[in-house]
Amino acid sequence: NLNSYTTLNNGLKMPWLGFGVYQIEDGNEVQNAVSSALKLGYRSIDTATVYGNEIGVGKAIKESGIPREDIFLTTKVWNDDQRKNRTLAAFQESLKRLDTDYVDLYLIHWPVAGCYQKTWKVMEEIYKSGRAKAIGVSNFLVPHLQDILNLNTIVPSINQMEFHPYLVQPELLNFCQNHHIQMEAWSPLMQGHIVDVPTVQNIAKKYKKTPAQIVLRWDLQHEVITIPKSANPNRIIENTQIFDFELSQTEMEELDALDQSKRFGPDPANFDF
């Protein structure tokens, strides 16, 4: 069900399904979206400093009346803050905007060249202070992860990656599994394009489900945490109805076979922002 969770490599429990809020505007828009999601049972919210909506997310959480400890809140340190060596300050500013004294998960948003190893040391200090219950990374390819593992300190709990049937990255998935780094999918719905994929449509018909539900289920069966985004209450609920059916091994393989290494977002090996 909606509250089913995985246990991260440090023992922290994290829901398999979360709610992403990228490109949902701060203020009423994000507050309404997060309030709807919380009412419908989501307990994990994924934001980032650069999304510019931490204040609205924090308000929605406060106003929900749900105990803070029942919510799993993720935010991320932005690239410029890494470059300016102000990860700790950026973290404190995030807490202030979110109006909370801790986050459940703090992520390095992108592997900024020449910075991310240093940033990781600061992340570890934040973790040790108890103000982030877990720390992890996002958009880290195998060489980036290897650089972190070579520090021989804390192993990231999460790697949040673009992940969907057009971008399966089996080697990265394997690497993460072998090192007990939990994969988490961003743009799981291919930013909405999943509805146009015939293989997904056909499987959806068979189960009387929607293409979005099929691909979110595919994430779960790959043991990948997933955080679809929607500002539409009907879709917010639709995206939760993924715990009452199971794809067959053949269907999983059919979906895997759609892989074409196609990104809808930037390539972590070559980004410039």
- Interface ranges with ligand NAD (CB under 6 A): 20-22, 46, 109, 138-139, 160, 186-192, 195, 210, 212, 227-230, 235, 238-239, 265
Q: Is 109 annotated as a binding residue?
A: yes
Q: Which of 113, 196, 138, 168 is CA-nearest to residue 22?
A: 138
Phi first, then psi: give them for residue 188, nearest 5 degrees.
Answer: -60, -25
Q: Least CB distance from residue 192 to ligand NAD, whole Å?
A: 3
- Give me the least distance between CB of 242 and ligand NAD, in Å please: 10
Rounded to an integer, what distance in angstroms lies between the CA atom of residue 21 and that of residue 54? 10
- Alpha carbons 108 and 248: distance in angstroms, whole number: 35
C-alpha 71 chain-centroid distance: 15
Closest to ligand NAD by CB, 156 vs 228, is 228
Is 107 in a helix, a strand, or coil? strand
Dmax over Cα atoms in the chain, in whole Å?
52
Query: Is residue 166 among the annotated active site residues?
Result: no
CB closest to ligand NAD, residue no = 20
Which pairing describes strands 72-77 and 132-138: parallel, antiparallel, or unpaired?
unpaired
Shorter beta-carbon distance to ligand NAD: residue 130 or 272: 272
Return the SS3 of 119. Answer: helix
CB of 160 to ligand NAD, least distance (A): 5
Q: Which is nearer to ligand NAD, 154 or 200 (CB)?
A: 200
Taking the CA atoms of 105, 269, 118 and 54 in sequence, report the sign of the dihedral they define.
negative
Residue placing its CB nearer to ligand NAD in the complex, 26 or 46: 46
User: Of all helices (H) and strands (E), which one includes residue 174?
Assistant: helix 170-178
Out of 51, 106, 127, 166, the active site residue is 51
Nearer to ligand NAD, 126 or 136 (CB): 136
Q: Computed over its alpha carbons, how large is the radius of gyration of the chain?
A: 18
Q: How far is the CB of 92 from ligand NAD (least distance, A)?
A: 21
Cα separation of 81 and 87, whole Å?
Answer: 6
For the bound state, the minimum distance from the C-beta of residue 13 to ligand NAD, rounded and expressed in Å, comes to 20
As annotated, the binding site includes 109
Please give the positions annotated as active site.
Answer: 51
As annotated, the binding site for substrate includes 109
